[in-house]
Structure 1
Amino acid sequence: MSAEPDRRRYDSLRRATQARETRMEIARAARELFLSQGWAATTVREVARAAGVSVPTVYAAYGNKTGLTRALADAADLSADVPRMLEELESSAGDPGRQLAAMAAYDRRLFERAGDIITLVREAGRTEPELAVAYRDGRGQGDRTRELVFSSWPDGVLRGGLDVRSAVDVYAALCNIDVYTTLTAERGWSSERVEHWWGEALARQLLN
């Protein structure tokens, strides 16, 4: 008597897996097209064709092209392993230098694995207000993390003349997609070298 419920349960799992695989295939196709021919020039129909699905399937999965792009931006954070950064921040509590290194390592992973998507969202946001908000939200989340960490440090840890807000600004000036791209794409630095330099530069600029 349990065979039919079991079969329905596995059928449900199979459908959910297939739906997830379809969403991943749509996202993969969209990312390739957005990067190869530009966000504005890419249509939902082209994404559907490249993914091997119907146009209604793309709309059902992501709503529209903007929704699809927001999903790619959300996946960028996941690809950089936020839980790993949080674990490293907690394990190095009381050691500001190590905490700065943990945040720099996260930014390195983020830009290394999803820098193209971050740049895409920023550029698309020039004409698409919702994506401009998505880009600002991503930057704001990073700022809030740094504010939380810097605020946890005892008085006297930050360099003289720096408050938490100013320290966040200095961090943002050093660790961003443009600096990463300049050093890796134009100057030939490895991502590991960028991460190491960031850690040292942040310590020099922010810590007593």
Structure 2
Amino acid sequence: MTLPPVSRRRYDASGRRAQARVNRERILRVATRLFRAHGYTATSIAQVAAEAGVSTPTVFAAFKSKVNLLKEAVDAAIGGDTEEGDRRVHEAPTAAEALRRYADAVADVAHRAYPIYAVAVAAADADPQIAALVADLDRHRLTGAGYIATTVAAKRGDADLSRVGYLRDTIWALNSPLLYGLLVHQRGWPVEAYRDWVATALTALAAPVPSARH
């Protein structure tokens, strides 16, 4: 007698993937909190694993290295709803309004990102990998500042590339999370006051000096 073929059930890995995502998010939250509280050097992967309720190999499987864990913590803090903020800037009817909307976005990002960004900056002197991470973050900020500068220049009809470069560098300097730290964390400014100051400074500096060459 011929037996009917055995039906093999396909393995469903969706539950495992979902658990991996949950673990990853929890690890990132815990690591961010510990980095902010104790700094990069004083926070170990073992501590992160213990507080996240996972094994140390699980942390390494998810993030590969402690440096990458810090990088993703910074990226998550900077991320937020940046696409919506960028869209509002690019859709602004005038250059002045674009700068005001950009100041809103700068304040929003700095409020989220400064605490963990400051951790990376503090660790950069002692760790070349963290120094490279901070340099990479600065390059990304410069690229983003260039997009905003190009938009603002187009809205005011300015085709002079040297002027665009001046505005890019001005935006890059003013959107640094470290500047937020100086005024809000060290000097005690409200976030709203910082936002208004950035808007005023950007508007005042948007008209570049004639000798600017970049």
TM-score, scaled to structure 2:
0.81
What stretches of structure 1 of length at least 5 have no aligned partner? none
Q: Counterpart amino acid of 2:189?
A: W
Aligned counterpart, 1:124: 123
Offset, 1:109: 1.2
What percentage of aligned pairs have identical amino acids? 26
2:22 maps to which residue?
Answer: 21
Contact 2:106 2:175 in 1 (8 A): yes
CA distance in 2 between counterparts of 1:154 and 1:37 reads 45
| Secondary structure in 1 matching 2:54 | coil
Pick the structure with more helix per residue. Answer: 1
Question: What is the alpha-carbon distance in structure 2 between the residues aligned to residue 134 and residue 84 of structure 1?
Answer: 26
C-alpha distance in 2, partners of 1:155/1:45?
52
User: In structure 2, what is the equivalent of residue 60 of structure 1?
Assistant: 61
CA RMSD, 1 decimal:
2.4
**Equivalents in 1 of 2:87, 2:177: separation in Å?**
24
- Whether 2:35 is the aligned partner of 1:34: answer yes
Distance in 1, matches of 2:145 and 2:95, equals 11
Question: Would the alpha carbon gap of residues 155 and 23 (structure 1) be closer, same or farther in structure 2, given more than 3 Å must change?
Answer: closer
Q: Which residue of structure 2 lines up, in the alignment, with residue 74 of structure 1?
A: 75
Q: Is 1:168 matched with 2:168?
A: yes
1:46-65 deviation digits (Å, cap 9, x = unpaired): 11111111111011010111
Query: Are the aligned partners of 2:31 and 2:48 in contact in 1 as well (CA < 8 Å)?
Result: yes
Computing the radius of gyration over CA atoms, which structure comes out larger, 1 or 2? 2
- CA–CA distance in 1 between the matches of 2:68 and 2:172? 27
- What residue identity is the alignment partner of 2:121? R
Q: Which runs of 4+ in 1 moved over 4 A?
A: 154-158
Number of corresponding residues: 197
- Structure-2 residue corresponding to 1:95: 94
Alignment match, 1:135: 134
**What is the rounded CA distance, in whole Å, between the counterparts of 1:184 and 1:205 in structure 2?**
21
